[in-house]
Amino acid sequence: MRLDPLLLTADHDIPDPLLTELTALYASNRDFHALSGEFPDPDDIRPEQVAGALAEELANPDTEVLLARGAGRLVGVAIALARHPDPADPDPWLGLLLIDAGEQRKGYGREVAGLVEERFRVRGRAALRLAVLDDNPRALTFWQALGYEVIGHRKDRQRGRPCTVLRKQL
């Protein structure tokens, strides 16, 4: 498994072949997008919407979009934040981990999470946080199985959705 940062073109665009791969990956996760409300129609996720969502993430200089490649293809994407927008929060955050729906339950999510954790560990960070939508019990179970502990509850900063905040010592 390789985990590489998303590299944009000289015009700050996602290369077309990669955008096609990313759109397919996002579209494969219809149930998650129906739950999260990130896209207006989870049955019709378009390349321009994926590009816009990733551009919005990359507008924050502390954010890194990481591409997970396994078995010769894109199997996942992770969005990591070196710093949370709240200055009182000392930990980096994992903003998103999305594994191609056809590749789930094969260990890719666990492997990508471990690689993200290692990226922060070697940078001297002590812990990693993330938030799970309260109406996503499957994700909560996944993260707790990886050793993340619930440390609180709050609404997310973008849409005000209720979330469970988790933290793991690195």
What mean pLDDT value characterizes the chain? 94
Q: How distant is the alpha carbon of residue 136 from its chain centre?
A: 15
CA pair distance 14, 47, nearest whole angstrom: 10
What are the structural domain ranges in the chain?
2-125
Give strand ranges (E) for 102-156. 127-133, 149-155
What confidence tens digit (pLDDT) does each residue in 109-153 have? Answer: 999 999 999 999 999 999 999 999 999 999 999 999 999 999 999
Please give the structure tokens belonging to residue 152. 């609180």
Selected from 3.40.630.30, 3.40.50.10310, 3.40.50.800, 3.30.2270.10, the CATH number assigned to the domain covering 2-125 reads 3.40.630.30
How far is 23 from 47, CA to CA, in rounded Å? 5
Q: What is the pLDDT of residues 12-47, one digit of tens each?
A: 999 999 999 999 999 999 999 998 888 989 999 999
* Beta-sheet pairing, 93-99 with 73-81: antiparallel
